[in-house]
Amino acid sequence: MDTLLPFAVCLVLITVAAVRYHLPPFLTLVGASILFGALSGMPAGVFMPAITGGAGRLFGILGIVIFSGAVIAQVLRESRLIEIIVADITRVAGRPLHTSGLAGFLLSVPLMCSITSFVILSPIVAHLRSGGSGVRQLLYVLAVGGSLSFVLLYPSPVMHSILSTLNFYPGDPWRIDVVTLPIALALLAALLLASRRRLPPPEEGDTAPPAEAPAQERLRAWAPFAVLLLVLAAGAALPAFDLLGDINIALLAALIAALAGVTGEVRLRALAKGTKNAGIIIFDLSGAGAFGAVIAASAFPSEVYALALPVMPEILLPFVVAALVQAAQGSRVVTAAVTSTILGASGAVSALNPAATALMICAGAFSFSYVSDPFFWLIKRTTGDGFSSVVRHYTLPLFIAGMVTLAAALLVQAVLG
């Protein structure tokens, strides 16, 4: 077991670097990749190409997706069109609580980052209620609701990286949503029901309907999402234009629609800020690709597979590996990328149903959203709550979501085999 101890050492060091010294994930993950290669006895001529190749591969998978989502988010924020979207959701949802959950759930996937959607939506959601405790509850619902869709639904970077790395459903990745969408909606409904019982009664004016924006403004606000859906639908329905069904093409078309609907000044600001945000995210994810690739190139996958089989059912291996990686570094996309790479190299998923395997990885990504999770600290700063409150309203609901997803994975494996 020459690679298990180096792997454990790297996980501990990643956690310490993130929590104690607040080092960026790209630096900690690339550093851990080099350290793992050296400690496990791999020649530099083997582990360095694995590191650079893994980083480049993940950039190739998610680079366009992340850039498009980040810039669309900034366009909506800089032009204040996001306020129109939230107002429209409020008219449909009725209650501020439902608006918060639905807004996070609906926007996290097309914006390609649950943290980005939280950042641009939280100032608006905070004005849906006047009371302090009520506002904080809405912010927690916004964060958890966004995380549910971000982890479970394709084409979010979490599910995108799982399906691409493990080559599940080639040519038709949307099939996974037939299984995961009902689970995500059920979890969202449970979240809203449980939160409704804890939410203080509304004050006068809290439930007043928002002012309706002019039709032209609403068209500009919703245009990126309408274009995204139309391009994907055209790719699915017209064989001659199947290229349009590629999520990269569809998101680039949505990005062009978003940029075309704003002034030149807003466009420049959105491109500058969106590119910066996308760069930070994609560098962190490339670090995950490097870490996963060097582990996959070592004997670790076969060793952990041989060690785990005598003590646990094979189906639980994706969940256990994902939960360990999630606890160490906090990013759910990193967890999906690293875990998928490890499992693909081990051959552990060959006997499992693809949907069940993906759900297992998602369950692990939900399970330990604590101090190593950058979203945890953002929520703590935004709400002003203490550790115990953030754990109770953010970490615990996501842990429960992980256990429900784990149960769903076991059911899918039992039924579909």
pLDDT of residue 206: 53
- Element counts in the chain: helices (H) and strands (E): 19, 0
Q: Is 174 exposed, middle or buried (0-12, 13-18, 19+ CB in 10 A)?
A: middle
Torsion sign over Cα 247, 253, 257, 260: positive
Amino acid (one-letter) located at 208: A
Number of Cβ within a 10 Å radius of residue 137: 22
Q: Work out the mean pLDDT of the chain and round it to a whole number.
A: 88
pLDDT of residue 380: 86
Per-residue pLDDT tens over the stretch 25-57: 889 889 999 999 999 999 999 999 999 998 998
**pLDDT classification of 359: cutoffs 50, 70, 90:** very high
pLDDT exceeds 70 at position 230: yes
* 352 SS3 class: coil
pLDDT exceeds 60 at position 320: yes
In angstroms, the CA 20 to CA 175 distance is 41
Query: Are 327 and 372 spatial neighbours (Cβ–Cβ below 8 Å)?
Result: yes
Which residues have a Cβ under 8 Å from the Cβ of 128 and sit 6 or more positions away? 90, 96, 99, 100, 135, 138, 206
pLDDT exceeds 80 at position 129: no
| C-alpha to C-alpha distances, 337 to 158, 204, 395, nearest whole angstrom | 8, 47, 21
Lowest mean pLDDT among 78-87, 95-104, 135-144, 201-210: 201-210
| C-alpha to C-alpha distances, 28 to 126, 155, 261, nearest whole angstrom | 34, 27, 39
* Domain edges within the chain: 4-202+262-416
**pLDDT classification of 107: cutoffs 50, 70, 90:** very high
Per-residue pLDDT tens over the stretch 58-99: 898 889 988 999 999 999 999 999 999 988 998 888 788 999
In angstroms, the CA 359 to CA 309 distance is 20
Regarding predicted confidence, which is higher, 144 or 94?
A: 144
* Mean pLDDT along residues 303-324: 83
The torsion region of residue 171 among left (phi > 0), alpha (psi -120 to 50) and beta comes to left
**pLDDT classification of 211: cutoffs 50, 70, 90:** low
Cis? peptide before 155, omega within 30° of 0: yes
pLDDT exceeds 60 at position 208: no
Angle at 230 between CA 125 and CA 280, to 5 degrees: 50
* Mean pLDDT along residues 122-129: 80
